[in-house]
Amino acid sequence: MDIFTNRMGYGAMQLAGPNVFGPPRDRDAAIAVLRTAVELGVTHIDTSDFYGPAVVNEIIREALHPYPADLHIVTKVGARRGADGSWLPSHEAADLRAQVHENLDHLGLDVLDVVNLRVNAESRPDDSIAAEFTTLAELREAGLIRHLGVSGASDQQLTEAQSIAPVVTVQNLYNVVNRGDDALVDRTAKEGIAYAAFFPLGGFTPLQSGTLSAVADRLGATPHQVALAWLLQRSPTMVLIPGTSSVAHLRENLAAAELVLPADAVAELNALAAPTGTPR
Ligand SMILES: NC(=O)c1ccc[n+]([C@@H]2O[C@H](COP(=O)([O-])OP(=O)(O)OC[C@H]3O[C@@H](n4cnc5c(N)ncnc54)[C@H](OP(=O)(O)O)[C@@H]3O)[C@@H](O)[C@H]2O)c1
């Protein structure tokens, strides 16, 4: 968890064009979001070369290079984009190596701090990831990567990855109404692994809940801040990467790190999803 001492980070995916494809409408605004994030103390930015593709990494480089010494840029490999913007899994060793080099080039780095293997376990929770994770472990041994993680991975795939190389982070879909990963959140807390919840605000399906709004009203906060504060209180190794293309939303989201939810509010929010993860 040393890398993620500031648990409130920033997810850069929203800085590409519509559907995370092509350039943003306003590149200067994207640069302003990144610079403001760092000014406000963010030390963890999540990205990938398949955002754009390459667009988001190039914007990060333009906005922040040379990078502050305490900034941790977390990227992921394991997919390509089709000409129509489709997301195409790509796990062959040669292409994983190529993707690591493309991230290095586009970010302007000699070493990538953290690389997640995008597993996409929803469609293959029982598949072995040994071959693909071994490729990344070899790149780590070669000094191109400092730390490894898995994304969209099952409990079993995390165990398998750990048998190959240390895993510092798991990045999976999790939020106050999507709690299918409850057991994995608890496991990562026990093992001291950072759990980065992607779609903390619902992603492409924004969270909407009367309970979130009611709790927010009571606390003088916004529903987005309550959703983020709930995640931070859910586990000591939870790290957040809310995405936004707006400086105002960024400020609002980062301020959620200071929001303390009282026990009755946590209980109400816990009841939003059954422990099995079934949204109500
Ligand atoms: N590992 C994976 O497979 C995977 C998959 C998806 C995402 N990710 C990572 O996770 C990060 C977070 O995911 P995400 O950005 O898709 O979803 P998110 O953080 O759940 O939600 C982002 C959406 O919420 C809006 N938003 C953000 N803050 C807001 C606020 N304060 N008020 C109102 N609306 C607000 C954003 O619009 P505005 O731009 O208008 O603020 C955007 O539409 C990504 O940036 C990416 O780095 C990883």
Tens digits of residue pLDDT in 146-204: 999 999 999 999 999 999 999 999 999 999 999 999 999 999 999 999 999 999 999 98
What is the C-alpha separation between 34 and 60, in angstroms, rounded?
7
**Pocket mutation for ligand 1, best pick of 230, 231, 246 (most atoms within 8 Å of C-beta):** 246
Nearest CA to ligand 1 atom 33: 249
Residue 276 has pLDDT above 60, yes or no: no
What is the C-alpha separation between 148 and 170, in angstroms, rounded?
9
Q: Report if pTM > 0.85.
A: yes
Residue 243 has pLDDT above 50, yes or no: yes
pLDDT band of 278, cuts 50, 70, 90: very low
Torsion angle of C-alpha atoms 191, 194, 195, 197, degrees rounded to 10: 170
Structural domains of the chain, ranges and CATH numbers in brackets: 2-270 (3.20.20.100)
pLDDT band of 13, cuts 50, 70, 90: very high
Catalytic residues: 51
Residue 209 has pLDDT above 60, yes or no: yes
What is the C-alpha separation between 146 and 169, in angstroms, rounded?
12
- DSSP annotation of 21: B
Q: What is the pLDDT of residues 182-197, one digit of tens each?
A: 999 999 999 999 999 9
H or E element in which residue 198 lies = strand 194-198
pLDDT at 121: 66
Nearest CA to ligand 1 atom 11: 11
Q: Residue 78 C-alpha to ligand 1 middle, in angstroms?
A: 20
Is the CB of 199 within 6 Å of ligand 1? yes
Least confident of 55-59, 170-174, 189-193, 276-280: 276-280
Q: Print the SS3 string covering 41-62.
A: CCCEEECCCCCECCHHHHHHHH
